[in-house]
Amino acid sequence: MSRNKSEQLFENAKELFPGGVNSPVRAFKSVDGAPLFIKKGDGCRIWDEDDNEFIDFCCSWGPLILGHNNSAVRTKIEEVLQNGTSFGAPTVLENELGKLIIDNNPFIDKIRFVSSGTEAVMSGIRLARGYTGRDKVVKFEGCYHGHVDSMLVKAGSGLVTFGTSSSAGVPESFSQETIVLPLNDEEAVKNCIAEHGKDIACIIIEPIPANNGLLLQEKSFLKFLRSICTAHDILLFFDEVISGFRVAFAGAAEYYGIQPDIMTYGKIIGGGLPVGAYAASNKIMGHVSPLGDVYQAGTLSGNPVAMAAGIAQIKACLADGFYEDQEERTKYFTGTINDYAKSNDYPFELVSIGSIFWLTFGEHDAIRKADQIDPATMVDFKTIHSLLLDNGVYIGPSGYEVGFVSKAHTMDDLKQAASIFCAVLDQVYKP
């Protein structure tokens, strides 16, 4: 498999962009080789500039739940594109996407469209602070909420876990307003609230943490968060940028049956174009400008072309049995590989929920916290990633990232990909 063109393009890109990329994980830093430059996608397949073909499980990191170049999405974009691309004035398309979402999501009354997941979280946190009049925010180690200053924070040492910034350029005084706790740990939350409850605006969590491995939480923990937040007038903030429209139409809130106070969406909501959103009850959203005093705006917010892509994709997700079918095909895929690994005593297992899966290595119980991931296992990930690429299967270039099955992955595609996976496991683990 030649990768000459991608390698040359990456050299060119390094002259233009820091590290040759416009988002860091694309740089293949934790795996071997140069990143592949992709020129085309169709269904579950992508092609790189050297004309190599891959079955794709990255799916643009989640947005493409219908796969690449979906005809309904493409047709709707083309139709809207005839009339121009942006007006900075309201369009009927915003109403259409907003109504589609609100009519099918019992957890929200109003929504505000922005242009990325990061922007959605940033705005949602400002809203939580504006609404409660409190400054502190609790987040969990192992949850990613975009590159917002207040969320680029890791657990500090010591008992009182005020955060320390995990990126240069975030003042310590900012990160002092963020408290970082371990996931799935009720005691830690109780202690934190006992000490700081009156200052906490919100507790933000990825209800299905999927940015640092797939750290599935016990439902009882999520329910506990709901009740302790209610008891202390703290807002429960579900960041559903990955899980929204992915595990169920109304995301993890629907999957677990838990009512959060603020929710954020991104990825799938834009059908492959840049859209994010935050949403809540009328009471909370009434604080957003121009109704209320929490300011938030965007030149390209609700962009008609992006709304069009979102409408077409979201409509398809509303089809009867859509999520059951996604989960069934994913289970077939992970089950085939897991059975094979188990019967051969290979130290490998795919963990999954809905149509999200994650590669895990070695003997372990359920992994629910960031510090339960053994960094030493990333050596195996690197080998497997490289062999999968050589054999025509594309997964995200980091062992801390999850994979996605789309509507376009047919049973035949999944059968083919699973058999490649099993052959790769043989190459790595067969004695």
Ligand X SMILES: *Cc1c(COP(=O)(O)O)cnc(C)c1O
Which residues lie near ligand X (CB under 6 A)? Answer: 116-118, 121, 144-146, 206, 211, 239, 241-242, 266, 276
99/161 Cα distance (integer angstroms): 41
Q: How far is the CB of 125 from ligand X (least distance, A)?
A: 12
The active-site residue, picked from 56, 76, 136, 239, is 239
Residues contacting residue 399 through CB under 8 Å, at least 6 positions apart = 30, 213, 359, 377, 378, 381, 382, 385
Alpha helices in 82-157 (DSSP H): 92-103, 117-132
Q: How far is the CB of 160 from ligand X (least distance, A)?
A: 26
DSSP secondary structure letters along 36-90: PPEEEEEBTEEEETT--EEEESSGGGTT-TT-BT-HHHHHHHHHHHTT-S--SS-
Structure tokens at 269: 């909501």
Structure tokens at 234: 């703290």
Q: Find out whether the peptide bond into 106 is cis, omega within 30 degrees of 0.
A: no
Q: Which of 188, 243, 254 is nearest to 355 (CA)?
A: 243
3 state SS of 296: coil
CA dihedral 5, 8, 9, 10 (to 10 degrees): 120
Residue 65 vs 337, nearer CB to ligand X? 65
Q: How far is the CB of 343 from ligand X (least distance, A)?
A: 34
Catalytic annotation present for 426: no
187/359 Cα distance (integer angstroms): 29
- What pairs with residue 292 in β-bridges? none
Q: What are phi and psi of 76, to 5 degrees?
A: -65, -40
Decide: 52 and 36 in contact? Cβ < 8 Å. Answer: yes
Q: What angle do CA 380, 381, 386 make, to 5 degrees?
A: 105
The active-site residue, picked from 267, 278, 369, 394, is 267
Q: How far is the CB of 225 from ligand X (least distance, A)?
A: 16
Its sign, for the CA torsion 322, 325, 331, 333, is negative
Q: How far is the CB of 416 from ligand X (least distance, A)?
A: 28
Catalytic annotation present for 239: yes
Catalytic annotation present for 144: yes
Run of H or E residues at 196: helix 186-196
| DSSP label at residue 287 | T
Residue 57 vs 340, nearer CB to ligand X? 57
Q: How far is the CB of 143 from ligand X (least distance, A)?
A: 7
Q: How far is the CB of 417 from ligand X (least distance, A)?
A: 23
The active-site residue, picked from 76, 139, 144, 380, is 144
Catalytic residues: 144, 239, 267
